Amino acid sequence: MRRHRRVKILATLGPASQDPAVVEQLFVAGADVFRINMSHATHEGMRERIATIRALEKKHKHPIGILVDLQGPKLRVGEFKDGGVDLKKGDRLVFDNRKTPGDATRVCLPHPEILRALRPGHTVLIDDGKVRLHVVEATHDRSIVEVDVAGRISNRKGVSLPDTEIPVSAMTEKDRSDLDAALAEGVDWIAVSFVQRADDIAEVKKIAAGRALVLAKIEKPQAIARLEEIVEISDAIMVARGDLGVEMPVEKVPGLQKRMNRLARRLGKPVVVATQMLESMIQSPVPTRAEVSDVATAVYEGADAIMLSAESAAGQYPIDAVATMNRIAVEVEADDIYRSIINAQRSAPEPTGADAIAGAARDVADTLDLKAICAWTFSGSTALRVARERAKPPVIALTPNTDTARRLSLVWGVHAIVTKDTADVDDMSKRACKFANREGFSKEGDRILVIAGLPFRTPGATNMLRIAFTSSES
């Protein structure tokens, strides 16, 4: 299952892709990681999808990543006597904590922590920003808001607060239950929604305790203000452009996408670009030209992965969407300009032996036009360091740890193989050559680069590289 591209494709499973045959078609079409969105999945549904993916992995003998996306706190207004109200610009509405149905003058906001956090001047967005209001007066149990952008507010519509930091965890009781269930099933990645601060990620990592890696979804202005510390503590980040574009001016999102991508690469953390990438393919077999350009931009930037949401979960053409994304990525990476852009983003290696070896591996591989960089790794850190360098040859990660191989399926340019641990340096080179040939990365007489840490199984001890010649006996 060698992919002829470096960027990975993350496909969301849903009603349109719950059949095991469709999941297999998505994998064959190009999906490297599957996302299960707990906003819509039950625990039983999650288990069924995980079982389908693991059976597919066994059939194709190739590691597949599974990402479980926690719902996070969903803020909503209460209910109205008549199901909703139509508001005009300049109208005033009271948010309070009374449970009685609302009307044109007031409605319950059943989140006391919000009422306590709102301040005059704060913006309140309803229904993904379709209705915009601002706070005029605020006390601990009620706020008066004035309408800036008119529209209808109906029962249980979502509330976004771009100016307000909510003093609650990014995890609800539902999220805790979902997290426990996901960890029990051995998933590879946990995505945390509506992150505001580094502590939100630390909380999940403490519970996960290394059983899964933790990805921060960046979708709130509060996270942008603390971006570097959030990226530092996270195992990966997602540029969640949908909610980010609701809570911030949409014209700022492209620049933020580039900023996050480059920061994550500098810190050696995978970055996923998500939301509305091929949105029209929910109902159309072909994307718009603008969508193709959007996907291409993320690939040109060197993102580790690009994600499909409703396109593969609920759309009419889930397999076509994955195949289209795959074709775009292959075409972009074949463009001469692509390599020059990737090279221009390269950061200086950190002053550690492991990073120096990874940087040297890139230089040697590119200078000698080697066919592959084979990284022996137990924890995945060696492969991650090499991937950060964005070398021209693909990275083959050889590991005895199945969990590591699955987690690396999200990482740029990494082709992971599960194999028994190496016995010594000569065995390490010989078997690396064998796998490079077997997987179609090299042929007899080609040269590859082998990188590892000695002593073996010592995380972060990457300290050796060797050029090896493949042969027919490899």
3 state DSSP class of 249:
coil
Q: Which of 47, 74, 76, 174 is catalytic?
A: 76
By CB neighbour count within 10 A (0-12 exposed, 13-18 middle, 19+ buried), where does 112 fall? exposed
Could you read off the pLDDT of 293-348 as tens digits, one per residue? 999 999 999 999 999 999 999 999 999 999 999 999 999 999 999 999 999 988 88
**pLDDT confidence tier of residue 48, bands split at 50, 70 and 90:** very high
Active site residue 164: no
Q: Which residue has the tokens 């090299």?
A: 442
Could you read off the pLDDT of 368-421 as tens digits, one per residue? 999 999 999 999 999 999 999 999 999 999 999 999 999 999 999 999 999 998
pLDDT confidence of residue 264:
96
Catalytic, out of 275, 324, 399, 470: 275
Q: What local confidence, expressed as pLDDT, does residue 473 receive? A: 56
Tokens of 282: 């929910």
pLDDT exceeds cutoff 70 at 106: yes
- Coil, strand, or helix at residue 350? coil
Helix (H, G, I), strand (E, B) or coil at 456: coil
Which listed residue (6, 8, 35, 49) is catalytic? 35
Q: How many helices (H) and strands (E) does the chain have?
A: 17, 21
Q: Which residues contact 182 (CB under 8 A, 6 or more apart)?
A: 36, 38, 46, 68, 190, 212
* Residue 455 predicted with pLDDT over 80: no
Query: How far apart, in whole angstroms, are the C-alpha atoms of residue 110 and residue 108?
Result: 6
Work out the mean pLDDT of the chain and round it to a whole number: 95
Q: Which DSSP category does 111 fall into?
A: -
- Running DSSP on this structure, what letter comes out for residue 38? T
Active site residue 275: yes
Give me the pLDDT at residue 422, please: 84
Which tokens go with 426?
């000569």
Helix (H, G, I), strand (E, B) or coil at 458: coil
Q: Which residues of 446-471 are buried (b: 16+ CB within 10 A; e: fewer)?
A: bbbbbbbbeebeeeebbbebeebebe
213-238 pLDDT per residue, tens = 999 999 999 999 999 999 999 999 99
| DSSP-derived 3-state class of residue 455 | coil
Is 100 a known active-site residue? no
| pLDDT of 146 higher than 80 | yes
Read off the pLDDT of residues 155-174 as tens digits, 9 standing for 90 and up.
999 999 999 998 888 899 99
Mean pLDDT computed over 264-277: 96
474 has a pLDDT exceeding 70: no
**Domains within the chain, CATH numbers bracketed:** 8-72+170-343 (3.20.20.60), 84-160 (2.40.33.10), 353-469 (3.40.1380.20)
Residue 472: per-residue pLDDT: 57
Give start and end residues of each alpha helix (H) in 128-279: 173-184, 198-208, 221-225, 227-233, 241-247, 253-266
- pLDDT tier, 460 (very low <50, low <70, confident <90, very high otherwise): low
- Give the pLDDT score at 462: 82
Backbone CA torsion sign across 29, 31, 34, 40: negative
Q: Who's near 411: CB < 8 A, 6+ residues apart? A: 8, 270, 304, 380, 383, 384, 387
- H helices within 13-102, ranges in order? 20-29, 43-60
Query: pLDDT category, 142, cuts 50, 70, 90?
Result: very high
3-state SS class at 4: coil
Q: Work out the percent of the chain whose per-residue pLDDT is above 70.
A: 99
Among residues 145, 198, 146, 192, the alpha carbon closest in space to that of 171 is found at 192
- Region 173-178: mean pLDDT is 97
pLDDT score, position 1: 76
What confidence category does residue 60 fall into, taking pLDDT thresholds of 50, 70 and 90?
very high
What local confidence, expressed as pLDDT, does residue 461 receive? 73
Is pLDDT at 210 greater than 80 in this prediction?
yes
DSSP 282: G
Let me know if 98 is a catalytic residue.
Answer: no
Looking at residue 252, the DSSP 8-state letter turns out to be: G
